[in-house]
């Protein structure tokens, strides 16, 4: 039976125009019950509605609150540091190869926590432009407001993950891959195989047998919004196996693809998130040199059990 996340169902947009569409509360609740998720249906039935249509303003406020809690989780998981660990070697190799300008684009950026953290630390260098895109205008508006308040050099735009505007030296994402069905992943990766793009770096939940239990404990302890608690566990249950991710990423024909795994004992919660990495072949040796001993973590055959 399909595992559904509430956040994927309470907002709908016209794929052609991007205009927001009505979402009928009873239809969402019925879909969740059909999937065997009574708890999720009850959560949706508590979201305000007008004439049976979910109140857009209430939904937006709810999603901003959930993403604010997610930001705290990402802080505890040291996600910005983990992105920087791989991004810095990639950008160093790109500079060595004479690539310019350098732009990092975060797909499905939510409130832009990763980019805002990278901008605040300056760890990537002054020559790197930081851009975030997300399908949800409410999240982009909040990300932009926070960046202005924090006086950070990063920008945010509304965009579809499968029709990205502009260009990027490196595409990245954090907890986005599991939102797509396995048969949609090849298109997601293929869309990033563009002239000028040197790499991609996509972190998501590692699909281990204990991931749902770990997600339940972690989200129960740290999140207060019922929607966030529900979707956190659903994310772990929906996570794609390593082989699925590597096979899908290989559809970016011009990239060599890897997983990046810890080469030493790590905080188990941090190890629960791991990235799939795509590199232009000309960049691989330079990235390995820049990673040093950590280059052993770049693998094409995952060590953990597959599912």
Per-chain mean pLDDT for the chain: 91
pLDDT at 306 over 50: no
Residue ranges of domains in the chain, CATH in brackets: 12-54 (no CATH), 63-299 (3.40.50.150)
Query: What pLDDT, on a 0 to 100 scale, did the predictor assign at position 305?
Result: 45
pLDDT at 46 over 60: yes
- C-alpha–C-alpha distance, residues 192 and 168, integer Å: 9
Do 169 and 134 form a contact (C-beta atoms < 8 A)?
no
pLDDT at 304 over 60: no
Question: Which residues, other chains included, contact 153 with Cβ-Cβ below 8 Å and sequence gap of 6+?
Answer: 119, 130
Read off the pLDDT of each residue in 58-67 and give the average, rounded to a whole number.
97
- C-alpha–C-alpha distance, residues 15 and 83, integer Å: 30
pLDDT in tens, 95-128: 999 999 999 999 999 999 999 999 999 999 999 9
pLDDT in tens, 231-268: 999 999 999 999 999 999 999 999 999 999 876 655 55
Query: Which secondary structure element, helix H or strand E, spans residue 204, and what is its range?
Result: strand 199-205
Give helix then strand counts, H and E, for the chain: 13, 12
Cα dihedral 303, 230, 12, 166 sign? negative
- C-alpha–C-alpha distance, residues 136 and 262, integer Å: 33
Task: Quickly count: other Cβ atoms within 10 Å of residue 70's Cβ.
Answer: 22
Q: Which of 162, 175, 171 is nearest to 239 (CA)?
A: 175
Read off the pLDDT of each residue in 135-141 and give the average, rounded to a whole number.
95
- C-alpha–C-alpha distance, residues 60 and 140, integer Å: 11
């Amino acid at each position: 039976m399909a595992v559904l996340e509430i956040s994927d169902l309470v907002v709908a947009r016209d794929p052609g125009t991007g205009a927001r569409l009505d979402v009928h509360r009873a239809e969402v609740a019925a879909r969740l019950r059909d999937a065997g998720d009574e708890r999720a249906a009850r959560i949706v039935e508590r979201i305000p509605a007008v004439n049976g249509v979910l109140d857009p303003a209430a939904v937006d406020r709810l999603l901003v609150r959930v993403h604010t809690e997610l930001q705290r989780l990402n802080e505890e998981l040291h996600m910005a540091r983990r992105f920087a660990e791989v991004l810095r070697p990639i950008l160093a190799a790109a500079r060595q190869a004479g690539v310019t300008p350098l732009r990092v684009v975060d797909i499905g950026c939510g409130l832009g926590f990763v980019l805002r953290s990278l901008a605040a630390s300056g760890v990537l260098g002054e020559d790197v432009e930081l851009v975030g895109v997300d399908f949800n205008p409410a999240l982009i508006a909040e990300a932009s407001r926070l960046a202005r308040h924090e006086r950070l050099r990063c920008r945010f735009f509304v965009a579809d993950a499968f029709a990205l505007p502009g260009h990027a030296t490196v595409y990245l994402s954090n907890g986005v891959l599991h939102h797509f069905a396995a048969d949609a992943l090849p298109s997601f990766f293929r869309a990033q195989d563009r002239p000028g793009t040197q790499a991609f770096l996509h972190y998501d939940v590692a699909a281990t047998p204990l991931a749902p239990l770990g997600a339940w404990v972690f989200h129960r302890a740290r999140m207060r919004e019922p929607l966030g608690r529900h979707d956190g566990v659903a994310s772990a249950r929906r996570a794609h196996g390593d082989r699925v991710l590597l096979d899908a990423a290989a559809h970016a024909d011009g990239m060599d693809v890897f997983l990046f795994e810890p080469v030493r004992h790590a905080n188990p919660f941090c190890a629960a998130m791991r990235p799939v990495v795509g590199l232009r072949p000309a960049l691989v040796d330079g990235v390995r040199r820049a990673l040093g001993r950590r280059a052993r973590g770049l693998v094409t055959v995952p060590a953990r059990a597959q599912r």
